[in-house]
């Protein structure tokens, strides 16, 4: 009976060790995926910021042009 119990416990321990190894591998994969997604997010955020700055510059230029046109119209 004791041998059967020990054998059963040994099997359970081996299964637990395998599961821990599998979980560690999955954690490692998820950490790598998280890193890649963080890099991608950073790149997208930089592109968005550049686009916003470009838009702001365009809006400012257009506003300046409209102001000049208005000034010209007022002088006439």
Q: How far is C-alpha 1 from the geometric centre of its chain's CA atoms? A: 55
- Provide the token pair at 38: 């963080």
Q: Where are the domains of the chain?
A: 1-76
Encode burial over 11-33: b for 16+ CB neighbours within 10 A, e otherwise.
eeeeeeeeeeeeeeeeeeeeeee
* CA 3 to chain CA centroid, nearest Å: 52
- Length of the chain as a residue count: 76
Q: Read off the pLDDT of residues 5-50 as tens digits, 9 standing for 90 and up.
A: 999 999 999 999 999 999 999 999 999 999 999 999 999 999 999 9
Q: pTM for the complete prediction? A: 0.67
């Amino acid at each position: 009976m004791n041998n059967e119990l020990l054998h059963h416990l040994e099997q359970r321990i081996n299964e637990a060790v395998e599961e821990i190894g599998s979980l560690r591998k999955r954690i490692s994969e998820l950490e790598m995926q998280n890193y890649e997604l963080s890099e991608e997010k950073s790149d997208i955020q930089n592109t968005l910021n550049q686009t916003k700055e470009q838009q702001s510059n365009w809006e400012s230029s257009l506003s300046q042009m409209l102001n000049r046109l208005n000034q010209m119209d007022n002088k006439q």
